[in-house]
Structures are given as structure tokens and as C-alpha cells.
Structure 1
Amino acid sequence: MTQPNWYRDTTCKIHFDMHTPEHIHDVGRDFDPQAFARAVKATGAEAVCFFARCAYGWAYYPTAVGLPHPRLTRDLFGEGVHAMKAEGLRVIAYCAIDNAPSDLAAEHPEWPKRTPEGEPVPGHGTATSACAFGPFPHELLIPQFQEIAERYPVDGFFLDGVYQYFYRICHCENCRRGFGRDIPQANDDPNWRAYRHWQVQNVWETMDTAARAVEETRPGCLMGVNWLASVRWSVPPPPAIGYVTGDPPMQNCTFETALNLAAWAWRDVPADIMTQRMLHSWQDFTCRTPETIQTEFATGLASGAKLFVGDLLQPLTVQPDPDVMALMQVCFEFAQERVDVAAVGRRCADIAILSSPETTRGQGATWTVDDTPLRGAYHSIVTAGLTVDILFDDDLAEHLSRYRTLIVPEQRFISRTAGNAIAQFVRSGGGLVVIGALPKCVDPNEPDGAADSVAFETLTGLRRADRLSHELGYLQLRGTPAKHLWRDCDRFRPAIPVLGTPAAVEPDGATVLVNLTAPGETYQIGAKPPGEILEAPAITTFPCGDGTVMYCALPLASDVWKRGNPGARYVLEGMVREVTPDTTVERIGPSAVQVYAAANDDETVIQLVTYQPDGRTNMPHVIESPCEMTGVQIRVRDARAPRSVVVEPATTAETWTRQGDLTTIVVPPFTIHTAVRIRWC
């Protein structure tokens, strides 16, 4: 019988980073495992991620499979594991998986990643970059995971460096033979999409195999892989993975937490985002403020996820900084006050945004999805006070029916199965907003030319036209049927410039709400004012089955993210509201407050998180003095009337008003986070 997933019930976790090259002497010399475990336990942490194998390929225990660090003075990992288990802490074994020590790589010439000339690709320090598509994972990594799980009472694994498998294309014989055709090199090679799909399928299968091997060795031992199944790939996790996780860049970690968990936290597998106590990076000892980390923790809990925070250890003492542990304790105490209410129900949302792996087509060697339009669409929806999740192509057939509306933001290609699921969703009454290019439907191994270009023409009531040459287009809403797409509180409707080439379409049943305005003659040292109104649709609407489809030919979402274009955001929001007239949950009030919803049979929990960076420096964003947030209301649509409404963690009862099936609640003033718990009659 499969063991229960302990990760679901473990909120507070700490990871300690300590990648140590071989020239560092006396590694672990002053380590006091009992003092280490007591210090971590005192923070309120429930689990610790501790180094077993670093990015240089060295092990921190006496391995018989790999190589221990040449200056290791003791079984550092093992002593730490036993001391932490004695304190009641769960232990996750950290293993970097992208490098092999050069001596091992020389003994196994089939392990290294190879250049086109056949030379090994250098890794970190003196290590060698390993190829994931040959025997390396099966001859070294998985046996080493099994060795760790057999020797030590670990509860899980955190694998790091999977993304390195996709950098620096490998030209070894295993890759040539496995892919079955020439490995692409030039950016215009038509085989890039098929090659990247082959890579993903292999890595996902290997990670699944590794997770199953660990579970067989130590039942209940879970495996997570840093950034696996994230938006970068837009492919769901393998079945055996025990949790999904990632450590985002620190420029705006609150947004990164919310965005990435929107793609993870609605799934059945538990998720978290590993924030850091360091201000800039894993090489920086500058400490962040507790208010910054608390805001990220609040975002994680409100998203329906768990918490993970990273710190640094020094290789001789291997002891946590007591001041950093005091910071961790403050932040974990903040989190524990909110754990119970955050655990109520399952995350739910009205809006879904599609991120397709097929959008890597045309990007050449770039293996990551261009998430710019995804970020712009997500930012627009959360700023509007609506609830939103992110779905991948392979999610749609099973999960799209949970949502009211789907946004397809500037996805030039999507999979055929995704296209079929979207068509069924719309014809059954779902709303659809398509931004930018009309997607073409294609399977991963098909060339671009085999894509179906008709499916989305049928859905939108449009047909493709000759390409437009402008790199800028304007929306002029005043006096058109689209004038309501600007926000209601303004008396003006200025022209909205949107950077990027507009898609060229013609109506084929769709109603045109506003046409494109071309840029006028250049003046003002490069300024391009609104010019001629073209006979080219900019925004259209089309009834399709029982649903409604709205389309905008301009890349609104990218312009929101790249330039912060408020007009583009208003239009995108307005289109979503047009096809989603009766939202289930909505925040009314300051746009700095993001709303999250979760529900079970008897109650709904609405969580609110404020984001208030001080704005006095460049990057990363720092929160030092968040003010009390006022003027916030939430509206919840449900046929049942509330039996009680309680605000937590203050546990104060609140009054509400009700009109039809809509309950409106005035939220008391709060700082960083609050939750409204509604029990229904």
C-alpha cells in the first residue's frame, strides 16, 4: 500500500545550501550535529533539506556509488540526519544531479555531455557536465539515491539542476541514437520542437523511475525536483513525483510565488516555492526583511501551498547563523497563525490561463516557454481582483471544465488535444479570450507546416489575412462598441498604443467592436502617434455554441508585462469580464490586494494578501513597512446564504449583505494577510 504523502501536512521547511569545491579543506570539521538540530528545531521548522550531493558532484557521506568530497572529515550527512530525526524533524536529502566528478567521468566516457567535436562539456569547477539521456542517471544517480535511502532514515529527496540537462546541447552517441535524427544546431532547424519534446519525455521518465526506486527502497520517501513541471516546460509532473517545488529569482519573489503556484497548487500533488533569506542570490549573505518573507509566506499559504525557505551554511562549521534562525522563527510563527485556515478546502478559480509547450516553436535553441504573455495576462487578472490558475496543454481535457473562462495569451501554437478540449469547453458554455496570434494546433513531432490553422478560425469567427507590417498598433475605444473595456471610473478614453506586430484577421461571422489604428508619420525624434484607422479588426466577439469568444489582434499581455501598459490591462480585463459575467469570487478595492479562494462542501475561505514594496531601490523589491490595508470588499456568489462569516487569524465575526445569490463582505483593516471564512447554511 502506498504511504500517505507527509508533505501535505508539513508546512515549514528550511533548506541549507553548501556547494563546496575540492580545494576547501576540513569540510565538516567543527560540525555539532546535535546543536545544529536543536537550532533548527527552535525555529519551528518541521523539515530540513540537507546536503547529500553537491553541484560539484561530491557526496557528503562515505558513498560506495559516487565519490565523497576529498576533504570531508566525517559522515556529515549521516550525522546530521540522525541528529535531526532525534529532534523529531523530517529530513530531505539534497542531491544535485547535473555534474559528475572529473575522475568518475574519465572512468565512464559514456556519462559526459559532449560538444559537436566529441569533447566533454565542462561543469562546475573541475567537474564534468553529465548527459541525462544516456546511462549516467541509471548507473550513478539512481543507485546513489537508493544507497542514501537504504542507509539513512530520510523522508524525501530534493533534486536540483534538472534544467542544466537542457542547456548546452549534447552531441554524444547516446543522444544521436536516442533522438533518431540529426541533432539540431542552427536556430532555423525544423527539428527543434521534436528534439525538445524528446528531451522532456526522457527526463520526465527518468525522474519518475528515480522516484519509484526511492519509494521501493524506503516506503513513504518522496521525491521532488527543482522546477520540474514548471511553466518553463509547461508539462505536468510525472505520476510518481511526491511534490513540486522551485526556487525563483529574487527580484520580485512575491509575484514569482503567486505565478508559479498558479500552475501547481491546484494539482493533487503538494507544492511549494523555496524563497530565500538572502536578498539577491544564493551567493549573497545580505539578509532580507521579515516583512518581505512573511508576504511571500502569506502568498504561498493563500495559494494552497506549503513553505520552504533557503539559507547558507559554511563548510567548516556547518552551523546555522543564530540571527538568521531568529528571523526564520519570526516568519514561521507568522505562518503557523494561518496554517489552519489555509488548509480549508481546495483551491478554486474562475479563470484559467493556458501556457503551451508548443510556443517554443520558432525560438531556435531556446528551450523555455516564453512566459512574457503569461505574466502579463496573470498580472492583469489578479490586479482586477479575480481568481486565476495556469494550465498546460495536457491539463485541459481533464481539468478545463472546472473554470468559467480560458485565456489563450499570444500562443502561436498549441497541441491538437488542447485545441479539441478548448472547442468542447466553449461550445458547452465556457468563455474564451484569445490574445494576439490565432493559435495553430499541432502535435509535438509534427513540423510547423502540418499544423491545423482552421480550428481557431472556426472558434473565433475569423480567418487569417495578409500579414501586417506595423510594429505598433493603437486601440481607439471612444465612440465604439468597445468603449466599455476601459475602466468605468475614468471620464476619458485615450488611445492605447500596444507594442508588437498585430495579427492580421478578417471577420467570418465575428462582430468587430473596434478596428486597428495604424501608427502615423514619425516625428518627435521617433514618436509615432495614432494614424489611419484600418479595415482590420482589433477586437471582436463571437458566439460559439453556448459560449462566447473574444479576440484581440494586438499583443496586450506582453505589453502589460514589458511596459506596464495600463490601457492594455484594462482591455484584457474587460474582455475577460465580458465573457465571464458572473464571477464566483471577486475582490473590490485596492489593486495591491490579491484574492485567493478555496472551498469544500460546507465552507469557502477567501484569503487576501497585500503587496507593498517600499519602492526606494531598484531590484530586488523589499518590503519594510507595509501599511494597514482598508477599503477592501469581497463578493462571493453562491446559492446558499452564509451561516457565519469569520475573519482569521483575528477570529472576529463579520456582518454581510446579500442580494440574490451574491454575498458582499466588508473586510476589516489588515496588514499583509487576512482570511474570510464563510460557513454556508
Structure 2
Amino acid sequence: MAASSWPASGSRSRTTCSQWLGRQGASTQIWPCIASNMNRHRAGRTLTDHRPFSTGWATTVVPGSVRNRRPMPRPRMRRLWSSAKQISMLRPPPASSVSTSGRPVAVARQTCPSISGSMSTASRKPTPRARCSRRYNPWPSAGGPLRRMIDRYEPNRLKGVDETSKVRALLLTVSSVGPVRYNTAPRNNANGGTLSKQFPLRYRQIHLDFHTGPDIPDVGADFDAREFALMMKKAHVNSVTVFAKCHHGHLYYNTKRPERHPGLRKGLDLLASQIDALHRQDIRAPIYISVQCDEYAANTYPQWVARKPDTSQVKWGNSVFTPGWQIMDMASPYQEFLAEQTREVLDRFRPVDGIFFDMCWDQPSTNAYFMDAMVKAGLNPESEQDRNRYARILALGYMKRFHAMVRASSPKATVFFNARPLFNLAEEIAFQEQVEIEALPTGGWGYMYFPKNVRFARTFDKPYLGMTARFHKSWADFGGLKPYAALEYETSQMMAHGARCSIGDQLHPRGVLDKAAYELIGKVYARVEQREPWLQGAVPLTQIGLFQVPTGVLSTTQTISGSDEGATRMLTQLKHQFDVVRPESDLDRYEVLVLPDVIRLDDATLRRLRSYIKGGGAVLATGTSGLSEDGRTLLLAELGIRPAGMSPFTATYIRFGKEISSDVPPSDHVMYERGVRVTPARGATSLARVVEPYFERAWNHFCSHRQTPGDRLSRWSAAVQNGRCGYIAFPIFSAFATHGNYPYRLLVRSLLERLLPEPLLRVDAPTSTEATVMRQGQRTIVHLLQYCPERRTEKLDIVEDIVPLFGVPLSLKVARKPRRVYLAPEGTDVPFEHLAGRVNLRVPEIRGHAMVVFE
């Protein structure tokens, strides 16, 4: 093709690039790919625009790339036009304009008509803005960009191939790429809200760690983008969180910044390749950025590291010789350093699917930057309380800043700050587009952390997910695989609570996924995918609101209070349906409120509770909840008790009254924790009494190995009922978490039976069976889980075997008789009867996880 086929520089003839390209005889599929190198941010849509330097050069859907998303400078555009010239000279063989699949294909042209010739009838009339100005000369010297384009799209398949063959292979590859069906339409979240301003949160996610130290020399050496994405697709994964920046402070994309990993092969844009490949498989790819862990910055700018009061650095591990992360001070210039990195990621990969900011706890410091900022805020650096307070102010400030930065760049992106104390979610939810509950049961969180916290997270109008991992222990456990039964249990727990699923993994430094790990994940996610029709849009049905007991620990997400854990265990074992709430929650939606052990009530909360009780609600309080901290003053008079302060005895005994003694062993049951001395007020009923010991055990007088035996029945009550209110004089939930004494559960069960005579669900199954009730449109879905974690090491609970249950009686409170009851996803009908507002049936089998659907 002669260069003269383009108008001379002085010519007045004008045409659109789409017209000109169509006349040059090249594949109509290749032009969007060239165009997307010029302006990527619109790729992946149906392209109909005819502006000369946009992606609208052919009306087809093409896979969007994420590299070089900003409009290219003119010299770069010219080099790409040169590449277009080389490709167009290949003259592909004649073919029909549309394939049998309806996809546009190459149309060969044997001649190059004059550019001043008439416009094709298939072409659209160009707008004035769509015309090429004569100052844009598309024919500078050739060479270079074509090789880079080919190496980008198929870097491994074209090694050792001559240039002409490479171009033909590229044409064939791009022509065969089908439309990318990347659905970004909104849908309802698990709380019934519409996610109209962000990507829908998907159900089968991978959190792909890539914390790779600078001494690893061959980062990404074996990475194959196509195999990477196909393995994810084969494992039924539909979202992967990939790394821009790790805890070592290194970057994994092409950048001029010195933080780029020194072992990452020159020219390899690992992050861009991952995102491109995943998007082609309709897999979301949010981006990970480490916040307070940055070894590169800590070593380069040690003055930015957070300091303890003794001036030593804040560091994982208690010694400089212990391998572990140095923690950065966000009051130092490091925050701006991080902002520059984040801004580059947002600009380079716009629009991002999402950003996952990690390691974002409240970090106090005695760094000079931190203390100067405290003084300016009117706080005292010498006060630990003030340092913690400013750490909270600082964290909320940078969360607000970075959230706004992401949403301004990519309005539909998800944003999450991880490692936050979840009990403060109400204060931080404005900066979180979703809630991700990191809870590796074998990594220190245990099997109660997720069920407790998800019941709180789901009360906010944001989508939420649970995050476990495929590791035998915890993060970066290379070579560690947990048993299939354990991973099935953990993802089943997530589904049963209406959460999306996320499984953690770590990519090998060379960029190769562990085949065995993804066979395991694929087997688990195949189950999740089968059950998604009964998960999407489902919301929990609950009767009880459990007041939250904050731990006050700001530097970790792994700790929950003993009261919260004990109450979660107990109510789960009793098959009650409950949420974890705060005083500001909508309390009227619950039939019973539980105030566990140490709930402090201010005047506003007292007014709300009195109004709630007056409206017919029921309250169960335990320990000093509803009382002053010393147990001497009654604040919530509706409890119907007369308090006399804390008991002088550490251990006492509970004697159940005849009203609640059914199936309770006839014994005085030890209470290992100190309680409150109370008597019932006029009109209230004592349901259990306290047996006090001979004396308090001490060094100079004691009896036998443990607590002193009971002496006599005292006048003090252990449990009292006053109309719609119940009270237990002990911190019974924290005692249950610490000691696991089953009579404590029997006492709570008895009071709840009197306050809530018609529970939503009754299941005659072992206490290890978990049950939740979800509502999805006209369906009610009961999830039944039967897995038994076994303590096999000093600190490790393992689930390796699934032991089925058969013929389990179930009764669900349903006003109207359902048309059908069946098991999902199998579709097996279950016989049932509808009697007195309840559906009664027997679940044929629970093999790990059963879903009973009422329609």
C-alpha cells in the first residue's frame, strides 16, 4: 500500500479513521485492539463511536485491556498507526463480513480506493468531531510497536517465530476472540438494597496474596496469563483480588517508581496481564494495596516508622531479629507516599473494579510526626488514651481520603479497608462499599469469629462476604492444604448467613498457581455455584437482637469478647435466629432483646428500651446489664429486681426452680464466675436460687482441690422473670465461653422459652447442628449445617470427616401453608404438614449442609 493513499498534508479531503481503515483491507477485529492502546478506558463495550482517536472503530465488543488507559500522546499514536499500516498490508483472504456466530470477521479488499471516494453505505455519517485533522500524520517510520503489541497479547506462543507469522497469528487470535460478557448491571444485595453505584459483589472469590520479598530473583518468570485465567475459570472462580503492592512495599506493574519489585522481569506488567486475562474470562479483578505494612518504605525512610513509648519501632515480633513487618506511621509523610502510589494505580488501571486496602488498624505512635499532630489537635501525647484517640481520628481521616480518591476515579469501584475493628463498623461504614470478614478458623480466628461478626455486618445496608483460606494453618502456608470437609464447612457457613464467599491463596513468586489447591477450590466452588439461585437476594429472618459487647481492642480484628462468643455459641446451639445489634439499631424489628453480661446503658438507650418494652417487646439481661457497674443500683426498673451489689464469692451454685427444672439434672450446678446479689421485686418471680459456699477459698483456708462446696440455699435469686423481662444474676454468656458448662445453656433456654414461646425454628438435632433461616422473595430457606471441628493439636481445630444425620425433625413458623417443600439444589420433595401456623417435617438427610426450601 502506498503512503499516498492517505491525503497529502495540504489536501482538504477529510474522512473518519473508521472509513479509512475499512478501505485498507485489514481485519475489522484488529482495529479496536490497536485503538484500545490509544484510549483504553472505553474498551470492553459495544463500540460505535467514529471519533478518530477513540475505541469506536468497529461495532463489536472487544476485550478491554487495562494498560495505558490514559489517552496516548500524539507520538505514541503515530507509532501505532505505523503498526496499523504494517498489518493492513498483509491482505487477509476474502471472507464474508459476518460469521455463522454473528461475529464480524475480516473482509479482504484487493484495491485501495481513493480516500476521496464515496463513503460506504454501511458507514455512519461522521460528526464534525469525528474527522481527522491533517496535522495528525499517521505515517512516521515503521517498526517497533507491532512487535510490542504481539508480545503483549501472546508473549509465550510466538517465541522464535518470524515477524510475518507473528502478525498473522495475531490477526487470527484477535479475530477469534469473542465478546467479553462482563456484566456490571446492579442487583439486590443480601440486605435488600440495590447496588446501583458499584459492581455487584460476586459469590466465588479468591484473595490472591503475593507478598514477595526482594531477595526472590525470578518474580513472574513462569507466569502465563492465559493459563492463569483458565485455571481460575475452571475452579468456578468469578472474582480475584490481585496485587498492585504487597507488604514488602513492592509494586507489580510497569512503573518508573523505584518500588517496582527488583526481581520482576523487565517489561512484564504482571498486574495488567492478570487483569486483562481475568476480564476476558468475565472474572472481576479488584486490586490489593498494602497500607501500614511497607518494608521498602520502612527501610528507605526509617523516620516514617511508628514508634512505641520506649522509642522502639512498632514491628511484628518482639525483637529486631524476628522476621516480621515494620509498621508505618500514617501521620508521617508516608501517607502522601502511599497516596502517590494509589493515584498511579487508579490512573493506570482506570476504571478499577475495586481497591482492597489492607492492614488499616488504629496504630498509636510516639513518632515525632504523630505527636506533633496530636498537639495540633489539642491532645496530650503522654496520655495513652489520647494516643489511642488520635490513632482513631487519623485512621478515619485517611479512610475518608482514600475512599474519595477511589470513587472519584472509578465511581463503580468497590472499596474496602481491611483489618479494622468490626465493632466500630457503624462509624466507618460510610467509607466501606462492602464488608469483608477475614476469618481463617485455623489461622487464629476460630470457628466462632465469622458467625458472630456476620450477624452484625449484615445489619448494615452493604453487601458482605466471609474470607477463609485454602491453607492448613494461615496465610503464606505454602504447601498447606486444608481437608475438603473443612473448606466445605467454611463456605457453607458463609452461604447460610447470606454472605458471599472468598478463599485466600498465595501465588508462587514465579507466577504459577498450585494445581492441587485449585482442584480443591473448584470442588468447593462448584457447590456454591449450584446453590447460587437460592442465595441471591436472600435476607435473614431473625427474632432476637443480641446487644454487642465491644472488645475495645483497636489493633486487631481477631478478638471478640467472651460475652459475644458465649452468646453466639449458646443461641446457635439453641437454634434461635438472631442478629448482633447496637443501641442505635432498629430494635422494634426484634421480639426479644438480649443484653449480655456487661451492657452499659445511657439515658438515651434506657428510654429506647422502656419504649420497646412498653410496645410489647421482651428483654433478657444478664450480669450487670441494666445495673450500675458495681451492681448496687438498678437502672432498668422493668427487670423487676432489687440489687445488693456483687457477691463476695467467686464461685456459687445455681438451684433450678420447679418451673424450669424439666430435663435439668437435680443438682446444685456450679457457677464459676462472680454474680450479683439480687432479690425479686414485688410481682416478679424467682425461677432459680443461689446456693452459697461455706467460705471464699483463700491461701489460708480452703477445702480440697477447687471451689468450696455449697453450704445452704440463700435468699438471693439466680434468675428472675418480671412479665416480659427476664434477668440472670451472673455473666452467664462469658462464663459459657470460658467454661462451657451446659446447665448455663439450659437456664438461658428456659427463660427464652418463657419470653419467646413461639420460636421461628425448632430443630431436634445435636447442639453441633447450626440452623439459619433466610427469605428470598416468596421463598423461605432453612440452612442446616452439621460439621464437627475436632481439636487435634494444642491450638488447631480440624474438620476432616462429614458424618450425616438422617430423619431430622424440623418445625418452621409459617402463617400460610406452603405450596411445596423441597431440598435444594437436588429438587427432592419433602412431605410436610401445616398445623397451627407451623410446618412440620423430617429432613431426610443432612450430609454436611442441607437447604430446605419452602415455597
Note the C-alpha offset of 1:604: 1.4
The match for 1:465 is 644
User: In the superposition, relative to structure 1, how do residues 350 and 143 fare at CA in structure 2: closer, same or farther (>3 Å)?
Assistant: farther
SS at the partner of 2:806?
Answer: coil
Equivalent residues of 1:593, 1:609 under 8 A apart:
yes
Alignment of 1:26 with 2:200, yes or no, is no
Q: Deviation string for 1:50-105 (max 9, x for gaps)?
A: 12111232222245678323433333222222222222211021122113445578
* Cα distance in structure 2, aligned partners of 1:135 and 1:454: 51
- How far apart, in 1, do the equivalents of 2:507 and 2:297 lie? 26
Q: Which residue of 2 aligns with 1:189?
A: none
Could you tell me which residue of structure 2 aligns to residue 539 of structure 1? Answer: 719
Cα gap change, 1:22/1:344 in structure 2, threshold over 3 Å: closer, same or farther? closer
Distance between the aligned counterparts of 1:342 and 1:630, measured in 2? 24
Verify: 1:39 aligned to 2:212, yes or no: no
Q: Find the counterpart in structure 2 of residue 246 from structure 1.
A: 437
Q: Identity rate of aligned residues, in percent? A: 20
What's the counterpart of residue 347 of structure 1?
540
Paired position in structure 2 for 1:314: 508
- Aligned residues between the structures: 644
CA 1:178–1:609: 2 relative to 1, 3 Å: farther
- Between 1 and 2, higher relative CO (CA 8 Å, sep ≥ 6) is seen in 1
Give the AA of the match of 2:567: A
Segment drifting more, 378-387 vs 518-527: 518-527
Deviations 1:332-358 (A, max 9, x none): 01111211112253112111211143x
Aligned match of 2:487: 293
Q: 1:45-444 maps to which residues of 2 (within 5 A)?
A: 45-63=237-255, 67-73=259-265, 74-101=268-295, 103=297, 109=303, 111-116=304-309, 121-122=314-315, 128-133=326-331, 136-137=334-335, 139-152=336-349, 153-163=351-361, 165-166=362-363, 172-177=370-375, 180-183=378-381, 192=385, 196=388, 199-200=391-392, 202-228=394-420, 230-231=422-423, 233=424, 235=426, 237-251=428-442, 253-284=446-477, 285-315=479-509, 317-343=510-536, 345-357=538-550, 360=552, 371-391=561-581, 393=582, 396-414=583-601, 417-439=604-626
* Per-residue deviation, residues 413-459 of structure 1 (Å, max 9, x unmatched): 35554444333222221111111113469xxxxxx99xx99673423
Paired residues of 1:179 and 1:195 also in contact (CA < 8 A): no
**Superposition deviation, residue 576 in structure 1:** 2.1
Question: Normalising by structure 2, what TM-score?
Answer: 0.69
Structure (1 or 2) with the greater strand fraction: 1
Alpha carbons of structure 1 residues 565 and 54: separation in structure 2 relative to 1, 3 Å: same
Query: 1:386, 1:587 within 8 Å by CA — same for their partners in 2?
Result: no
* Matched-pair contact (CA < 8 Å) for 2:416–2:431: no
Q: How does 1:444-463 map to 2 (within 5 A)?
A: 456-463=635-642
Structure 1 unaligned runs (5+)?
A: 187-191, 442-447
Rate the CA distance shift 1:529–1:222 in 2: closer, same or farther, 3 A: same
- Offset of 1:300 from its aligned partner? 0.5
Distance in 2 (CA, whole Å) between partners of 1:565 and 1:201 is 41
Q: Is the 8 A contact 1:16 1:310 kept in 2?
A: yes
2:731 to 555, 558, 562: 555
Moved more, 206-215 or 303-312: 206-215
Q: Provide the C-alpha distance between the structure 1 equivalents of 2:302 and 2:343, rounded to a whole number of angstroms.
A: 20
Alpha-carbon distance in structure 2 between the residues aligned to 1:345 and 1:321: 34
**Are 1:18 and 1:312, in contact at CA under 8 Å, matched by a contact in 2?**
yes
Deviation at 1:330, TM superposition (A): 0.4
SS in 2 for 1:294: helix
Hey, what does 2:171 align to over in structure 1?
none
Amino acid corresponding to residue 583 of structure 1 in structure 2: P
Note if contact 1:227-1:246 (Cα within 8 Å) is conserved in structure 2.
Answer: no
Return the alpha-carbon distance in structure 2 between the equivalents of residues 453 and 202 of structure 1. Answer: 39
Which amino acid is 1:651 matched to?
G
2:677 counterpart letter in structure 1: A
| C-alpha spacing 1:32/1:635, structure 2 compared with 1 (3 Å) | same
SS of the equivalent of 2:480 reads coil
Q: Indicate the residue corresponding to 1:445 in structure 2.
A: none
Compared CA separation, residues 640 and 57, structure 1 to 2 (3 A): same
C-alpha distance in structure 1 between counterparts of 2:669 and 2:199, whole Å: 47
Structure 1 CA distance, aligned partners of 2:277 and 2:785?
A: 37
How far does residue 619 in structure 1 lie from its aligned partner after superposition? 4.3
**Comparing 11-20 and 297-306, the one that deviates more:** 11-20
Going from structure 1 to structure 2, the CA distance change for 1:364 and 1:86 (only over 3 Å counts) comes to: closer
Tell me which amino acid in the other structure corresponds to 1:29.
Answer: A
Kept in 2, the 8 Å contact 1:44–1:333? The answer is yes
The Cα of 1:630 is off from its aligned counterpart by 1.9
Output one character per residue of 1:211-252: Cα deviation in whole Å (capped at 9) or x when no partner. 232111012110122243524x46454224111113224247
Deviation at 1:155, TM superposition (A): 0.8
**Offset of 1:296 from its aligned partner?**
1.1
Letter in 2 for 1:216: A
Change (3 A) 1:290 1:407: same
Q: 1:69 and 1:585 mapped to 2: Cα distance?
A: 55
Do the aligned residues in 2 keep the contact of 1:228 with 1:245 (CA within 8 Å)?
Answer: no
Aligned to 2:130: none
Identify which of 655, 659, 662 aligns with 2:835: 659
CA drift of 1:263 comes to 1.7
State the 1:12 CA deviation.
0.2
Q: Kindly name which structure, 1 or 2, has the bigger radius of gyration based on alpha carbons.
A: 2
Q: 1:122–1:566: structure 2 CA closer, same or farther, 3 Å change rule?
A: closer
What's the RMSD between the two structures over aligned residues?
3.2
**Residues 601 and 121 of structure 1: is their aligned pair in 2 closer, same or farther, counting only changes over 3 Å?**
closer
1:444 counterpart residue number: none
SS in 2 for 1:327: helix
| 1:622 has 2:798 as partner | yes
- Output one character per residue of 1:24-60: Cα deviation in whole Å (capped at 9) or x when no partner: 3232233222221221121110010112111232222
Equivalent position SS for 1:596: strand
Contact 2:785 2:846 in 1 (8 A): no
Contact 1:113 1:129 in 2 (8 A): yes
Q: Whole-Å Cα distance in 1 between the matches of residues 415 and 731 of structure 2?
A: 39
1:179 is displaced (CA, Å) by 5.5
Q: Which range moves more in the overlay, 370-379 or 124-133? A: 124-133
Residue type of the alignment partner of 1:423: R
- The amino acid of 2:819's aligned partner reads R
Rounded Cα–Cα distance in structure 2 between residues aligned with 1:372 and 1:6: 37
Q: Residue deviations 1:358-395, cap 9 Å, x none?
A: x64xx99999875111111111111111112112x3xx
Shift of 1:20: 2.2
- Helix, strand or coil at the partner of 2:309: coil
Q: Which residue of 1 aligns with 2:750?
A: 574
CA distance in 2, matches of 1:531, 1:473: 10
CA distance in 1 between counterparts of 2:247 and 2:526 reads 32
Amino acid of the structure 1 residue aligned with 2:514: D
- Shift in CA distance, 622/82, structure 1 to aligned 2, threshold 3 Å: same
Q: Distance in 2 between matches of 1:301 and 1:323?
A: 24
Structure 2: runs of 5+ lacking an equivalent:
1-185, 187-193, 318-322, 696-701
Q: 1:622 to 1:116 in 2, by over 3 A?
A: closer
Question: 1:498 aligns to what?
Answer: 671
